[in-house]
Structure 1
Amino acid sequence: MSALVPCIVAGGAGTRLWPVSREAMPKPFMRLADGRSLLQKTFERVAGLDDVAQLLTVINRELLFRTLDDYRALNQKRLELDFLLEPMGRNTAPAIAAAALHVVRHYGEDAQLLVLPADHLIRDQAAFIAAIGRARALADAGWLVTFGIQPDHAETGYGYIQQGEELEGGYRVASFVEKPDLATAEAYLAGGKHLWNAGMFCFRADVLLRELREHAPQVVEGVEKCLALSAPAQGKQGVQCELDGGSFAEVPDISIDYALMERSAKVAVVPCNLGWSDIGSWQALRELTPADANGNQINGEVILHNVQGCYIDSPKRLVGAVGVRDLVVVDTPDALLIADAQCTQDVKFVAQELKRRDHDAYRLHRTVTRPWGTYTVLEEGPRFKIKRIMVRPGESLSLQMHHHRSEHWIVVSGTARVVNGERDFLLNTNESTFIPAGHHHRLVNPGVIDLVMIEVQSGEYLGEDDIVRFNDIYGRAPVSEATN
């Protein structure tokens, strides 16, 4: 059998899991109770496959360094890590087409592509491996294979797959069905012919591209044009290819289901029972957590009186609740969600409204991850902003300049190497420096422990886009963009 190349696709916004999931820290990076992110759990499933030596990840370019951090702690098998970096999301069809073209180029036309969402949970690894084995046999015979989860209840939040003619190891797909109403979902459950659509796929790269050229040629042609303008770079861990922004924006924004799977006659499904969840809402997440005698699930310090059936997630702030029922309460440093437990699918409307207003709470948390470490906004007001900055050992911010703000840096712990205009010097704990607007400056941690400092910004404009980069060790373009 030909080589298997797993491909993790991380493109969903996870708006139904706001305020924890946000644009700059989306659902795949959410941590579960064991401390692992959903992305890390997906990586572990891949690493648990015996015949895999490489992993391809399709992800937004702004999330590359956070992804590498999540992978680094788990890559004991030393998988070769390839990345396709999207400048913006264009849905799953362009992402999977780009992955297939990459696999053909680097691993051969007959290589099989195993496409896995980055933000799903699978608790039965043995069943997962067995299902992949059946899918690979079907893929080798020329089928586009999807995975169907055997339903255990009538679910209106998932799409369904109707099983048709039986094949060896699976079934021909008779139809894909949109999310049904409750009565239809109950009929599907009773009939035994419908499976939940898990959004996982297995196919030979050449077969996928042939079918796409027949049913969605504009997707393949657009991605081919984009890849021709995108320069891959061979790094220590694998290939990194940042997709050209202008041409990628012209590729149709369409899912692989609509573009191909619903149109092709060569689609098969492997029924499976994997302990699967798409963690698509707070209600789905709370189902993973044991409840107390009153049906409450709690994370954090709470005082409850006459409270039943509530989910309260507040790891950093004391919560008191009195006389309430069936609520979901999720607290973060800058946003609080309160929802009826039966309406958690509708949390997306809050996130969509925040996006419409261009509100920071849609995009960012108070603590923001950067390639070099993190920063946390402690306080802000007219003409000032105060941040806590943490720089990991050996890391460096870009050499940069701001037009509209000055900055005052105070070292809390560790040692900082500072470039401030023409000066290059060290700052130790309790020492500080002032950087006027217009000065070139850089911050480096030359030590072996985390550098922690307080940054006080002042000026007429404190937006995160007031930055000009001149040099950056992470390869970020020297143009106005997100801070540091």
Structure 2
Amino acid sequence: MIFPVIMAGGNGTRLWPMSRQAYPKQFLPLAGERSMLQETIARLDGLDVAESLLICNEDHRFLAAEQLRQMGHLNHNIILEPAGRNTAPAIALAALTAQQKKQDALLLVLAADHAIADAPEFREVVTSSIPLAEKGELVTFGIVPTHAETGYGYIRRGEAQASGFTVAEFVEKPEQDAADTYIQSGDYYWNSGMFLFRADKYLEELKEYRPDIYQACEAAYAARSGDLDFVRVNHEAFLSCPSESVDYAVMERTCKAVVVPLSAGWSDVGSWSSLWQIAEKDENGNANKGDVLHHNARNNLVMAENALVTTVGVENLVIVQSKDAVLVAHKDEVQGVKHLVDTLKSKGRSEYKLHREVYRPWGKYDSVDSGQRYQVKRITVKPGEKLSVQMHHHRAEHWIVVSGTAEVTIDGKQELITENESVYIPVGKVHALENPGRIPLELIEVQSGSYLGEDDIVRFEDRYGRA
């Protein structure tokens, strides 16, 4: 049986403004109706696999848990990294976890933010690679290139071996001339970053070539603890682990690396232009999502989140409209979006990190309006969920229920507030909000005071471990 390992770290800054640090691309429905993480899980249907092991960072744990819950795949199977340490340590944690269930477990290592158009072909190639992995080879899937791409690393194949080839060489992202040469030779594949190997064999090779990573991960995993649906490894031990990719740590050093060709419409969706390439297009080559109208426009990618976006007489543009930001870029210049995000961060702008709509384990809030000494939010609380017991030093709050029923506690006194009713929480009062009903609770929150930052929250109790 295969144990899928889905790596869901990363911030996806090149897909700003849709992808942001607090809600990155792997949790967004960019290439379909489901999020990219959910599409990755759905792609496994038809394979003989165990429950997926998901690896993500602390900040995204509730996003990941909710998306797994929606698909019926949430089963104490999320491993939390205290900090990002690249792919070699992440896979080591998954290998140690899988070994608890089966010593020679096969790991199918996938990224949560890749798109594959031909899922049946993907499953067929994975299945054909199982014998190689079972006998101890470390299989990596090499994408059969469709053009001379300079944005991907390459793998040069060696001698034929069963359904694949020995790996002769890993190559960094090339210049254009080198990429042209690679394509002409027919001996090179794009490096997909997807793998199939036995957990014990990966750990053996890691221990051989990077014992420092192995020892740090082993210590962090040995001192793990459970928390809701999450597995928390030891914070201090994991922070001592070097940051290294699986390619550098193991695959470029081992003599057991085998590359298996894969031609299934793969994309790492690493930029807006790559999303345009895989998207459905109209007769003029425009890829549209949302409320979009064109006149005499060609080969554009336009995404409209909550407003009408129109174009006239433009070509090869990326236009992305979110609730609080608009990006306009030439398709050939989209790699520069990362620099825009760095600029936003250096200027202290919250847009690099947060959307206007922010998700929390209990639901979400949308910052509708703000000004001097006031802020207005639309809050949605899921049935049965509860915000932390908290207080604020600098702001008062008014809650107006739009739909559903709110159970409000203020200084220990409880009351039920229903549609068209409101309640006032003065500065300094300990309070809590809960949805006791079976439908989402929708309310408008009006904050007023001298300071309205999210860090003016003192938590006393919290069912999500944030107190």
**Length-normalised TM-score, structure 2:** 0.95
Q: Give the letter aligned to residue 191 of structure 2.
A: N
- Where 1:107 maps in the other structure, the secondary structure is coil
Given the alignment of the two structures, is residue 397 of structure 1 paired with residue 395 of structure 2, yes or no? no
Name the structure 1 match of 2:52: 55
In 2, the alpha carbon distance for the partners of 1:319 and 1:466 equals: 37
**Structure-1 residue corresponding to 2:263:** 273
Question: Per-residue deviation at 1:386?
Answer: 1.0
Tell me the distance in 1 between the aligned counterparts of 2:39 and 2:49: 16
Does residue 4 (structure 1) correspond to residue 9 (structure 2)? The answer is: no
CA displacement at 1:246 relative to structure 2: 3.2
Provide the residue aligned with 2:36 in structure 1: 38
Shift of 1:145: 1.1
Provide the secondary structure at the position in 2 that maps to 1:351. helix
**2:274 aligns with one of 281, 284, 305:** 284
Amino acid at match of 2:238: F
Contact 2:396–2:447 (8 Å) recurs in 1: yes
- Whole-angstrom CA distance in 1 between matches of 2:286 and 2:49: 42
Residue ranges of structure 1 left out of the alignment (5+ in a row): 479-484
Match among 109, 118, 136 for residue 130 of structure 2: 136
2:146 aligned with 1:152: yes
Partner in structure 2 of residue 481 of structure 1? none
Asked if 1:208 corresponds to 2:202, the answer is yes
2:437 is matched by which residue type in structure 1?
Answer: G
After superposition, the Cα gap between the structure-2 partners of 1:263 and 1:358, relative to the gap in structure 1 and judged at 3 Å, is farther
* Cα pair 1:164 1:174 within 8 Å, conserved: yes
Say whether the 8 Å CA contact 2:65–2:78 is kept in structure 1: no
Of 96, 106, 114, which aligns to 2:91? 96
**Distance change >3 Å, CA 47–CA 439, structure 1 → 2:** farther
Alpha-carbon distance in structure 2 between the residues aligned to 1:299 and 1:398: 36
Conservation of the 8 A alpha-carbon contact between 2:65 and 2:74: no
Q: Which residue of 2 aligns with 1:181?
A: 175
Distance 1:465 1:286, change over 3 A: same
Query: Is this contact kept in 2: 1:53–1:79, CA < 8 A?
Result: no
1:430-484 deviation line (CA, Å, top 9, x unaligned): 211121222211110111211111111122222212222222222x231xxxxxx
**Matches of 2:76 and 2:50 in 1, distance apart?**
9
Which amino acid in 2 is paired with 1:393? P
In structure 1, C-alpha distance between the alignment counterparts of 2:288 and 2:340, rounded to whole Å: 23
| Secondary structure in structure 1 of the residue aligned to 2:308 | strand
The partner residue of 1:172 within 158, 166, 173 is 166
| 2:184 paired residue number | 190
Q: CA deviation at 1:112?
A: 1.2
Separation of aligned partners in 1, 2:349 and 2:251: 36
Post-superposition shift, 1:244?
A: 3.1
**Cα distance between partner residues in 1 of 2:257 and 2:62:** 36
**Quick one: distance in 2 between partners of 1:305 and 1:275?**
30
Post-superposition offset of 1:109: 2.2
Inter-partner Cα distance in structure 1 for 2:167 and 2:347: 42
CA-atom RMSD, angstroms? 1.8
CA–CA distance in 2 between the matches of 1:85 and 1:265? 31
Which is worse superposed, 187-196 or 322-331?
Answer: 322-331
- Report if aligned partners of 2:68, 2:74 keep a CA contact under 8 Å in 1: no
Q: What is the CA distance between 1:45 and its match in structure 2?
A: 1.6
Contact 1:53 1:80 in 2 (8 A): no
Query: Post-superposition, which runs of at least 4 consecutive aligned residues in structure 1 deviate over 6 A?
Result: none
Give the letter for the 1:359 counterpart.
R
Q: Secondary structure of the residue that 1:54 maps to in structure 2?
A: coil
Q: CA deviation at 1:422?
A: 2.6
After alignment, is 401-410 or 328-337 more displaced?
401-410
Distance 2:114 2:338 in 1: 18
Alignment: residue pair count? 467
Alpha-carbon distance, 1:17 to partner: 0.6
User: How far apart are the structure 1 equivalents of 2:254 and 2:14?
Assistant: 31
1:51-130 equivalent positions in 2, closer than 5 A: 51-75=48-72, 80=75, 82-104=77-99, 106-130=100-124
Q: Deviations over 1:208-231 (max 9, x none)?
A: 111111111111111222223331
Taking the TM superposition and a 5 Å limit, the aligned residue runs for 1:245-260 are 245-260=235-250
Change (3 A) 1:311 1:261: same
Report what 1:440 is aligned to: 430
Distance 2:5 2:375 in 1: 41
Distance in 2 (CA, whole Å) between partners of 1:204 and 1:162 is: 23
2:76 and 2:42 map into 1 onto residues whose CA distance is 14
- Stretches of structure 2 lacking an aligned partner (at least 5 in a row): none
Separation in 1, partners of 2:113, 2:233: 22
Query: Structure 1 residues 332 and 37 mapped into 2: Cα distance closer, same or farther (>3 Å)?
Result: same
CA distance in structure 1 between the partners assigned to 2:294 and 2:93 by the alignment: 51
Q: Are residue 378 (structure 1) and residue 368 (structure 2) matched? A: yes
Deviation of the 1:245 alpha carbon = 3.0
One-letter identity of the residue aligned with 1:103: A
Structure 1 vs Structure 2: percent identity of aligned residues? 48
Distance in 2 separating the partners of 1:246 and 1:464? 27
Instruction: Report Cα offsets for 1:35-66 as digits up to 9, x if no partner.
Output: 111111101122331x2232111012332222
Moved more, 386-395 or 256-265: 256-265
In the TM superposition, what whole-angstrom CA distance separates every residue of 1:54-86 from its partner, at most 9, and x where no partner exists?
2111012332222232223333xx685511012
Is 1:330 matched with 2:328? Answer: no
